Structure 1
Amino acid sequence: MTGGALAGVRVVDVSRVLAGPYCAQLLGDHGADVVKVEPVTGDLTRSWGPSRPDGVSAYYAGLNRNKRHLAADLGTSEGRELMLELLADADVLVENFKPGAMTRWGLAPDMLAERLPRLVHCRISAFDPDGPMAGLPGYDAVIQAYTGIMDLNGEPGGPPLRIPMPVVDLTTGLLALSGVLLALHEREESGKGQRVDISLVDGAMSLLHPAAANYFMTGAPPHRLGSAHPNIAPCETFPSPAGEVYVAAGSDRQFAELVSFLGAPELADDPQFRRNADRLAHRHELNAVLARLIAALDPDVDLARTLIAEGVPATLVRSLPQVLDAEDVAARGMVTELDGLRMLGVPVRLSRTPGSIRTPPRPLGADQVAGG
């Protein structure tokens, strides 16, 4: 196996919490040499949730593998000199400090760009760093509320709900990764680095499909639909003898295959249900019929495998332990173990230069401490 697609790329990660560390971890998964520089007090996530005796929490562990671990007080001369030393031969800097912090430490972005013209500087912020909300802190759940995601999530008539995974931070990390890779690719032609700017608000806004597209076209504000889909029917959860089952018959063909499987093929020709637009207009009538048919299914039938084999996207709603112990997940290596620590695997698979998990997350300052 080679060193990965990004072997030879050097990354300095001085970001904290989630989006930045996730971006840097993904770079490390594919072979980049990533140095994580934490405050001497440690990344805030080291104290979030269950932890090992060495100070590695479960939350921290999920975002900081495949990195070297340094600690530095960037407000000291020792910390500044360490940063300049690391950046001298770095390709990428990932940071998420408030505007002005880098300048106070003698590491102003313009100075770095002049001194290190090939550096790709990835700056992650909560809001537009040059806008009216510049410098204000933001966390995933707050941004979910601020950008309307939380208002869209929940049961009809119920209160808005936070999506339990930090989707804003994770999406922002993925967008930051794509920006870094774009800038590295362009540097091959120009020989010059550039700044990559991404905010949590931008990341959240990119998730507003199809709600935003529907609103732009109709002017009608969306309403909470629970597990249903605003543009497709049927596309929601129904109770079955084996547990809750999610059905997503997104096309007329899939709907015909679904009702045929359920023993009611005539529903595909019913004028109320023949086309997706018809099914949306008669969603409540359709759901009542499907609920009755699905409730009568044989509880011993493997609904996920059977329905998907019939061409209908559907599955029993599985619990997290069921997913993490599933045969297909294990076969893909999406749950793996290193030094006794279970973790999620590398989701992007390359045929010649695959990513890998080489080093586990480590204690604070395991490789070096400066200025603390």
Structure 2
Amino acid sequence: MSQDKTLNRQILLASRPQGEPSSQNFILREQQLPTAAELAEGQVLIRNHFLSLDPYMRGRMNDGKSYAAPQPLGEVMLGGTAGEVVASRNANFTVGDKVVGMGGWQEYFLVDATQRGVLQKVDTTHIPLSAYLGAVGMPGVTAWYGLVKIINPKAGETVVVSAASGAVGSVVGQLAKARGARAVGLAGGADKCRYVVEELGFDACIDYKQHPDLRSLSAALKAACPDGIDGHFENVGGMILDAVMLRANAFSRVAMCGMISGYNGEPIPLAAPQLILSNRMKVEGFIVSEHMDVWPEALKELGGLVASGKLKFRESVAQGIAAAPEAFLGLLKGRNFGKQLVKLV
């Protein structure tokens, strides 16, 4: 075998977690890549620069019924990536092109780019490459869809968002403010809350770690939302959703995006589901990949806001593919601050 072959380091799912996942569920593998001359017609080889880590990946690790097929055992972990074309036998992609796709937890990504939509060329003139995995990528569009299409706030209404300092929540609040609504966040810790108010421009942020029971959290929400809650963007579920529902106004709307409080199989019953009826609430779950028709509209607004500096975002960056499992486990525990990425170059 020739010596000029490049090694590709990958993280595979080795076993399914029982309850809380651990680093033991992952394994690092090295694989040899084809040279540029060995690429098949239509293939593109990408050097991944950034890997996106997102809460949805936790659900994929399970074998149960869900909206998406489980992550197969012994295969590269699924995930969004942003990188650069290093070899191409496809007329639509040239060496040096910056691209985003579902490259997975690996340093290189070999793909048949004749399939429509597997690779997206991106312009990094005014938008950093990493932002295409966050504010101008799937998390940003998730925030946009839940806020614009489900909550649809009017000026003067109050919108609450859980996990407000994260990749999705931070965008929700800023988009709500741009539409003239009040934005109130929930986040874990004084530093995150300060950032949400001072940097992102939310009207208030509640540190849920200071409110360990429903009564306390509900009182904090009442103080932050004196006119009640008209829209809620839910990333966490559990007690936070219960507290929000106690303060919800008639005809309030809830966009159900994530329920991270139950990702390891914990039961998360609703304390007072009757409030959905008495408040005539609209509670709607959504999966952003099922709404590809709105992505261009969403990305146009998000890209413009990021390029002009009006939409702020923060990143937590782990270094190197081997750091991905621990960074992912940290994300599930809220150790990240903003969008969790792994830098691969």
Q: TM-score, normalization: structure 2? A: 0.30
User: In terms of Rg, which structure is larger?
Assistant: 1
Q: Give the number of the structure whose residues are more often strand, by fraction.
A: 2
Point out which structure has higher relative CO (alpha carbons under 8 A, 6+ apart).
1
Q: TM-score, normalization: structure 1? A: 0.28
Q: Give the number of the structure whose residues are more often helix, by fraction.
A: 1
